[in-house]
Structure 1
Amino acid sequence: MFKKKSLFGVVILLSLGLTAKSQVKIGFEVSFTEPQAHYAEVEMNISGINKDYVDVKMPVWAPGSYLVREFSKNVEGFKASAAGKPVKFEKVRKNIWRIYGAKANQLKINYRVYAFEVSVRTSFVDASHAFLSSTGIFMYPEGHLKSPSTVKVVPYQGWSKVSTGLEPVAGQQFTYTAKDFDILFDSPIEVGNQDVFEFMASGVKHEVAMYGGGNYDKERLKVDMAKIVEQGTAIYGENPNKHYTFIVHNYERGGGGLEHLNSTVLGASRNQYNNERGYNGFLDLVAHEYYHLWNVKRLRPVALGPFDYDNEVYTTNLWIAEGFTAYYENKLTLRAGFNDQNAFVNKLAGAVAAVENTPGAKVQSAAMASYDAWIKQYRPDENSSNNSISYYSKGEVIGLLMDLAIANATKGAKSLDDVMKAMYLQGKTQGRGYTDAEFKAMVEKVSGISFTSFWDKYVTGTEPVDYKTYFAYAGVTVKDDNEGKSTPYLGVASRKTEGRMFITAVSRNSAAWTSGLNVNDELLSINGVPIEAAIERMPELTSKKVGDVVNIKVGRDGKVVDFAVTLKANPSIRLVAKIDENATPAQKAVLKRWTGI
């Protein structure tokens, strides 16, 4: 009897708690009074939080971009009121404002956000449009990340369109709803007069919002982007969205992308759509970011959600999250018909060479590159290539090797596609992300072989890639065009600044490294000949042999310093891949399963 009464009381208390939480209402209105000065005006209304004070917080980073960006630095003019009267507030942390509302049922908060950084992950406002990257625009009440909110956008005069992945509120123009702040923070918003077109693919309506103009062909893009969508959906067997939005920013020179749950933001060059290289580069970007719809946004490392927006979130698995996505953009564009098999294998051979030619690949593992993303990937310096490797680049190569190993072990019956689909479905069932051990276990389950040695070599280790063995599984021969050559090599990168040549990088263990040449040294002469262009291409260097000594004069800290440099051989590899026409039936089976062609 006592237990039953206690249980009844608990149910009553829980019901009251849920009712109280459901009464919390959070709404935003974003407007633009001075877009030419790069400001967005934000009004935030909160009701139902009956406390002595309310802390409102702004994220310090944006999911998908692993760098603390301190978005609160752009906030100004913060003020709060209740019942039309100002209330006291104070800033208690770099990104937290404490509002003393005396248990007011309704609070109104106003602030401005300065937005003038062009990138796919930061907000930008000017007289022509507004791009709102939500983590840098909206605040949330502490303890209410799971609360729903609404956003009303008031376009500036002359602006007529809003593009976003958020759900529209019926009957209210430019008003949207998010079931929680994870959804709101994952939903960028484009406001202006963007060129909007739509296409259907895999049963999902896709909207493309083009800002900045360009020489793109909408009808061609509708067809080709749909092909990419369908190839991605074919791998996973389902497309989890009801609608999807591409926000494309076209600049004179643009690039990059950032994934979101049912949208993406892409940077592109407006006049590159009508040449093959530029157009295929854009499709590569579309494929990469769209593949993230599954890999990262749903199939994700366990650390990547729910998010802590105050602090760094660490994982050793970005080589899967981003590296595999870089790998799969190649598979999607191949299967969509934008490349052939020869182009596919050579592009991947080039990816292997890029990793092997990076000195940092011998220093930092893929797992550690993932973990150190917060301090290395987005904060490169002159020595980065010597002490680190991109988890994008190394992860792409690991994906290639793993794919070929699985196809070979299963005699062409399985591939990495099967691992990715199984992990996606497992994540749906478990309702959480995966651990490194769980991902490895699935690879071993699908392939039927141990991957412990593979992990030790390529994931947590820094061993050179045995690319010839892996490519051979699919009947692909790979040749190093630099093999047997002995090309003299100094090992510096340089840049001309105001007519003077300065060293910008020195490669580990190169002749320059050993001799003591430094970044920021001004290159004055080589063997008495003034240096007015890239030293690596000067006859005074290219005419020499490995082992020859050259005299290089540099300016350093206002002094002239002479160096006798003994030239070493260029260690770089240049890989060329070819599909063997005389491949065995077993190799052909691997090739077919690997490429999907």
Structure 2
Amino acid sequence: MLYYTFYQKNPASHYIYVDLKIEGITTSQLKIHLPVWRPGRYELGHFAKHIKKLEARDVQGNTLQCSKYSPSSWTISTAQCTEVYLSYSYYAAEYNAGACYANAEILYINPVHCCYWAEGFETKAHFLQFKIPEHFKIATALPLQADNWYKAETYDELADAPVICGLHLQQFSYTVQSTRFFIHFSGPCSPDWIKIKAHFEAFTQAQIQFWGSIPVDAFHFLVLLLPFKFYHGVEHLKSTVLALGPAHQLNDSLYDDFLGVASHELFHVWNIKTLRPESLLPYNFLNAQYSDCGAVYEGFTTYYGDKLLYASGVFNWIQFKTCMEERLQKHVHNYGRFNLSLAETSIDTWLDGYVPGVPYRKTSIYDEGSIMAFMLDSTIYFNTNGRFTLADVLRYAYQSKARTQGYVLQDLADWIQQACAIDLRQALHDWLYTAFDFQNVVVQQWARFGVALCFMPSPQHSESRYGFGLSDSTVNRVAPYSPAWHAGLFNNTQIISVNNHKAELNVQALIEQQSENNQHICLQVLQEYTERTCTLQVKPQTARYYPIPVLNIINQTLFDQHQYFFKH
């Protein structure tokens, strides 16, 4: 068994200190490892880079040889000891939903980042304890034992169980279908619990009904409320961490984001934590595990995280359509949709899935995956005269052998055939395996519900007329073959002047002013430490770049006739 003790010496340093006791050793060599990635973020993280001074000793305190043989693996010469004691520190200064953070007010860990595992002990019990100030509270899904140790039955369970120890922790709970749900708020806040409880009960009920059952007895929402603008969530089987900010806006402008990320992460209990691709069964924490199924485990989750908020009555039509418009806007603004398929994008999360990457290269398993889910959902609905939806397909998969044996992307067509008796192989091939522009087909599909999908000009003249976006005075995107593209603008170009008017404060306003009654503007720019002049020429009837999608009900009767689709 393994026993981890966590404590701090100087909270301001961000270092967490760990003492680890490994007992029951029967070999002369013990191999230990630290994960190189974490489930939920499909890229290499190499968490060993945060480790400082790993030491090994026997029960008498004698130093044991500890040799590193790869960036995240060590061999310990046990000298026939049955117990080994490790000590090390971990630099915890990443305040997000998937990492570790420590200061005077919080000790927050994701064990997958900072807990070594020992070969041969993966299925043994792992215990944690925390030496923290008396006024701190603890939030985690791990069960507390009588002796103040938290217990994980295996290393996999430990790696999947984040822990928050903090000064500002508030706990609330609710029950749906005999399952207890806890919401832990970390950070100074005054949650509107009556409203939160009603909304969480509603979407939780909708999700359990969607799948038919829930594979856990209890579930914990661990909510990190931050003082700055932030939005992040990470899924686990028995819990989730939600990181949101600014905290003081929780009950106001941040509230829809709070509901959205909570619904999304809860849906992951089924879709990825239980129903999982074959290539991710079991998790291999020492190597990348590539999967082309990201549209299923992230795209479908994004879609249903929003749709079930609407189906449960938590979101109204305006809130739901706003979510759909946001996904569509990201799609039509992303020229990578012409260059990389969803299946390839899923594999490439390990390359550049969590950074902007090079221009025009890739799509998103979240955004394009969500749009593809809507297309699949509505296509099934109309092709079966409203008898089936994508929900029936996912329930079939969840109840089949895929739940225990994993699945491959090609199984999706078989699930549809088995659950709905229709063949969508060609559509799935186009949507998943080719670089596909969903814009026109989504317009047609929404029209079948009595909803018009229109594309309005961007209010930013730099975008709609000239094809480039700005962050302050710096170019952050350029549409291919636009006036900006032809003039030689590219990312990180700095605008110095517009028609000889110095660009000081509001560059957009200056561009709009100088564009009035003009078919071109002249920009003085700084590119790669060199000043140059760019002339952007707008031709009559030119294309409009970076349009804004807007969904409007134009046939209320038709829309009302199809409410079954939106409620399932």
TM-score, normalization by structure 2: 0.92
Quote the residue 1:510 is aligned against.
482
- Is 1:180 equivalent to 2:154 in the alignment? yes
In 2, Cα distance between equivalents of 1:544 and 1:98:
73
Pair 1:460-2:433 in alignment? yes
Deviates more, 1:133-142 or 1:145-154: 145-154
**Matched AA of 2:374:** L
CA–CA distance in 2 between the matches of 1:354 and 1:519?
A: 18
Aligned to 1:11: none
1:323-376, Cα deviation, whole Å (9 max, x unpaired): 111101112211221223454345424422431231111112111111100112
Task: Describe the SS at the equivalent of 2:400.
Answer: helix
Structure 2 counterparts to residues 244-259 of structure 1, below 5 A: 244-253=219-228, 254-259=230-235
Once residues 359 and 107 of structure 1 are traced to their aligned partners in structure 2, the CA distance between those partners, rounded to angstroms, is 55
Q: What's the counterpart of residue 579 of structure 1? A: 553
Whether 1:422 aligns to 2:399 is no
Helix, strand or coil for the counterpart of 1:235? Answer: helix
What amino acid does structure 1 have at the position aligned with 2:452? T
Q: 182, 192, 203: which one pairs with 2:166?
A: 192
Q: Which structure: larger Rg?
A: 1
Select 1:166's aligned residue among 142, 161, 164.
142
**Kept after mapping to 1: 8 A contact 2:327/2:370:** yes
The CA RMSD measured in Å over matched residues stands at: 2.3
1:117 aligns with 2:94: yes
1:569 alignment partner AA: A
Match for residue 84 of structure 2? 107
1:348 counterpart = 2:324: yes
Of residues 234, 240, 253, the one that matches 2:209 is 234
Report the alpha carbon displacement of residue 409 of structure 1 after superposing the two structures with TM: 1.3
Measured after TM superposition, the shift of residue 230 of structure 1 is 0.8
Task: Answer yes or no: is 1:550 the counterpart of 2:521.
Answer: yes
Aligned to 1:445: 418
Equivalent residue in structure 2 for 1:301, among 266, 269, 277: 277
SS in 2 for 1:150: strand
Q: Which residue of 1 aligns with 2:33?
A: 57
Give distance in 1, aligned partners of 2:370 and 2:49: 35
Q: Deviations over 1:106-140 (max 9, x none)?
A: 11111111111111111000000111111111000
Q: Are positions 1:522 and 2:488 aligned together? A: no
Q: State the alpha-carbon separation in 2 of the partners of residues 470 and 488 from structure 1.
A: 26
Code of the residue aligned with 1:105 in structure 2: it is: T
Unmatched segments (≥5 aa) in structure 1: 1-24
CA distance in structure 1 between the aligned counterparts of 2:490 and 2:332, rounded to whole angstroms: 23
Deviations 1:388-413 (A, max 9, x none): 11110001101111110111111111
Contact residue 413 and residue 423 of structure 2 kept, 8 A: no
Q: Please point out which of 150, 170, 189 is paired with 1:214.
A: 189
> Which residue does 1:563 correspond to in 2?
534
Residues 27 and 45, structure 1, Cα contact 8 Å, conserved in 2:
yes
Letter paired with 1:550: I
| Equivalent position of 1:225 in the other structure | 200
Letter in 1 for 2:171: V
d(CA) in 1 for partners of 2:423, 2:457: 34
Which one-letter code corresponds to 1:518 in the other structure?
A: F
Shift of 1:513: 1.7
In the alignment, does 2:540 pair up with 1:596? no
Distance 1:367 1:185 in 2: 27
Unaligned runs of 5+ in 2: none
Displacement after TM superposition at 1:558 (Å) = 4.1
- Match of 2:566, as an amino acid? T
Which deviates the most, 102-111 or 145-154? 145-154
Q: Percent identity?
A: 22
Query: Cα distance 1:185–1:228, how it changes in 2: closer, same or farther (>3 A)?
Result: same
- Report the alpha carbon displacement of residue 427 of structure 1 after superposing the two structures with TM: 4.2
State the one-letter code of the partner of 1:414.
F
1:18: which partner in 2?
none
TM-score by length of 1: 0.88
- Counterpart of 2:236 in structure 1 is 260
CA–CA distance in structure 1, aligned partners of residues 201 and 48 of structure 2: 38
Give 2:52's aligned residue. Answer: 76
1:339 to 315, 318, 321: 315
2:405 is aligned with 1:432: yes
- Equivalent AA in structure 1 for residue 280 of structure 2: L
* Structure 1: distance between partners of 2:370 and 2:464: 30
Flag the 1:534–1:569 CA change in 2: closer, same or farther, 3 A. Answer: farther
**SS in structure 1 of the partner of residue 524 of structure 2:** strand
Corresponding residue for residue 8 of structure 1: none
C-alpha contact 2:479 2:545 (8 A) present in aligned 1: no
Identify the residue that residue 126 of structure 1 maps to in structure 2.
103
1:509-548: CA deviations, max 9, x gaps?
2222222123333312222221224544423553256xx3
**Equivalent in 433, 456, 468 of residue 492 of structure 1:** 468
Query: Could you tell me whether the CA contact under 8 Å between 2:464 and 2:546 is conserved in 1?
Result: no
Q: Compare 365-374 and 157-166 and name the one that shifted more.
A: 157-166
The Cα shift of 1:315 comes to 0.4
Is 1:93 aligned to 2:65, yes or no? no
